[in-house]
Amino acid sequence: MEEYRGICRAHTNIALIKYWGKRDDELILPMNSNLSLTLDRFYSETQVRFSKDIVEDCFQLDGEWQDNSEVEKISRFVDLFRQLAQVDLACEVISYNHVPTAAGLASSASAFAALAGACNQALRLDLDPLALSRLARRGSGSATRSIFGGFVEWEKGSGDHDSQAVPFDDANWDVGMVVLTLNTKKKAISSRRGMKHTVATSPFYQLWPQVSEEKLLEMKAAIKARDLDWMGEIAESHAMLMHATTLSANPAFTYLEAESLKAIEAVKGLRQQGYKAYFTMDAGPNVKILCPYSQSQAIIDALAPEFGADRLIASRPGPGIQYLEALP
């Protein structure tokens, strides 16, 4: 029987220099190069099976079969791999997200990176990680970076052939993140819709590409210097620049919630107590705190009375994709 199977794990990542806005919607080419840290604690594990026995594409997430609109997204993505391999078989995708889905924790990043890896393995394409990151990009922009571990840059490139992630620093030093989950409900405005609307209507957006490229250069210097205070200042500033573009869109919108603002103040308070703690936020209300990993437990203890210990999770830097023998 003709059957091809692949299984892959990919970790999520949090951007310190954000990707916000596309210059090509179809190919998912970003307006600016950007940079993230891959996290150890949050990941997706995905198995894909191509077989004559499978009548049509199907997709199970966390034990539940998904409806047509979800299957379509997967099918379109898997088509890229089917074309490359010249295979015309339907597939079954089974995936587990060890990430709260759609809560601004970028589960799409780990999900599409894991699916890309699983397809690569199943169809024996033998793609190198750069090529794989270009394909992961077509599922979700942030997935581009989840192919690699540590600090990863997504170079905006000049087109499909070179808009790809490259590892920047292995993050094998005392750095980490504390994720403060304030709201795990599915967000009302997806990052895809949010960025499209912002690019189209915010008069401030025209400043974004240039300012972001400058901040990226500075961030790379700060990482190389392993200067967490410097990195944190740039990360906070760039996150707020992103949120300022949504506040200046028309109609305006924001991902910040009342609790996010409280958390930001709390992070600033931590600094006054001598911690190296800096916030960043994505297309959702949750707050991620960049810190030395060695301080993460003390930071959790300090924030727990106000926000609840069960909503605080520390993570070390994570690895790149891993091919698995079987779903654990």
User: Toward ligand PMV, which CB reaches closer, 82 or 196?
Assistant: 196
The candidate with the shortest Cα–Cα distance to 37, out of 129, 136, 221, 169, is 169
CB of 302 to ligand PMV, least distance (A): 26
Cis preceding linkage at 251, omega within 30: yes
Cβ neighbours of 273 (radius 10 Å): 10
Tokens 């297309």 -> residue? 283
Per the CB < 8 A criterion, the answer to whether 297 and 277 are in contact is no
3-state secondary structure of 135: helix
Q: Which is nearer to ligand PMV, 49 or 149 (CB)?
A: 149
In the complex with ligand PMV, the residue whose CB is nearer, 216 or 291, is 216
Determine how many CB atoms are found less than 10 A away from the CB of residue 224: 11
Q: Return d(Cα 87, Cα 310) in angstroms, integer.
A: 46
Nearer to ligand PMV (CB atom), residue 106 or residue 267: 106
Which is nearer to ligand PMV, 106 or 231 (by Cβ)? Answer: 106
φ and ψ of 115, to 5 deg = -65, -40
**Minimum CB distance to ligand PMV smaller for 107 or for 295:** 107
Coil vs helix vs strand at 319:
coil
Contact 22, 137 (CB under 8 A): no
User: Which parts of this chain interact with ligand PMV (CB under 6 A)?
Assistant: 15, 18-20, 34, 106, 108-109, 140-142, 191-192, 282-283
